[in-house]
Amino acid sequence: DSGERRSTIPRTISARDGEKWRIRCGERAAGIRNPIREIMDTIAGKENPNLPLISLAQGDPTAYPHLRPSDVMVSNVQHAVAAGMFHGYQPSQGNAPCRAAVAEAFSVPTRAPLKPNDVFMTLGCSEALSHCIAALAVKGSNMLLPRPGFALYDVLCAYHGVECRYYDLLPHRSWEIDIKSLLEKADEHTCAILVNNPSNPCGAVYSRAHLEEVLEAAEQVKLPIIADEVYAGMSFGLPYVACAAVSERVPVLSVCALSKRWLAPGWRLGWVTTHDAEGALAAAGVQDTLLK
């Protein structure tokens, strides 16, 4: 015995010279495109040193030196890391103290308070959106998305095999939702209406009266709402109203994160909160699906 390590793979099934590896790219992944990345990755050019530059492309608040997470946030994270409190695996839904804190912060005063089991922690708001779409979509589903809207919605729908249908936002009405357009796009295969408030890219902040119109339309077609509220509280003088604060009956899955309001997108900490007054989400198995 020469002591050399010998292959245990039978010679008859080893790769032979001249044969190609049986590897193919997954069709679903290959077909996905992110229009934002396509633009940003191909931008060429240099800044003119003689002119001030106003960037309209930067979505990361930490790119600016005066925008930083609060000292309280940073010190609490440092303490948790130094104390070794959460180095191990956590429950898939997120650890209980974290979920309890989100439930307390995002409960609606005029509704029954959220419980920790109504909260699902995620890797940022993007994963929160992805989980909501996955939990609601079935084969052949479509989803109603705002136009103009955040390009990631299209990417996530494509990944989950969901058809994108677009309802219009009205520029002459401060980018409010065109209710007629929304109702026209809904059919028996529609699984949800996605509402982004405050809006990216339009900057709209919807009034309570307008949200009541949106929720009335959702109740009319019996569809849940995915509320992308990652910019919650960043309304610059206008009163911000959460979708769940207006909804009496319509199920709402609200998504948010530390990314924008708390200036920490790199921490990748987001969440889904389920507002389900009549138990429709639970009855359909959506709560259990999110938990998995």
Cβ-based burial of 245 (10 A; exposed 0-12, middle 13-18, buried ≥19): middle
Residue-level pLDDT at 171: 98
Nearest to 275 by CA among 247, 236, 256, 233: 247
Does residue 283 fall inside a structural domain? yes
Mean pLDDT by groups of 10 residues along the chain of 292 residues: 58 65 86 76 78 76 88 95 93 95 95 96 98 97 98 95 98 98 98 98 97 99 98 92 97 98 96 97 96 86
Rounded CA-CA distance 213/225 in Å is 13
Nearest to 109 by CA among 246, 211, 215: 246
Domain of 258 in residue numbering reads as 123-291
Does residue 49 fall inside a structural domain? no
Does residue 35 fall inside a structural domain? no
Per-residue pLDDT of 183-221, as tens digits, reads 999 999 999 999 999 999 999 999 999 999 999 999 999
Does residue 286 fall inside a structural domain? yes
Rounded CA-CA distance 88/245 in Å is 36
Tell me the pTM: 0.88
Residue-level pLDDT at 68: 93
Does residue 156 fall inside a structural domain? yes
Does residue 268 fall inside a structural domain? yes
Q: The CATH number of the domain where 140 resides is what?
A: 3.40.640.10
Residue-level pLDDT at 179: 99
Per-residue pLDDT of 40-83, as tens digits, reads 777 766 778 899 877 776 778 888 888 899 999 999 999 999 99
Nearest to 99 by CA among 292, 269, 283: 269
H-helix or E-strand containing 288?
A: helix 286-291
Residue matched to tokens 């948790």: 80
Does residue 67 fall inside a structural domain? no
What is the tally of structural domains in the chain? 1
Does residue 83 fall inside a structural domain? no
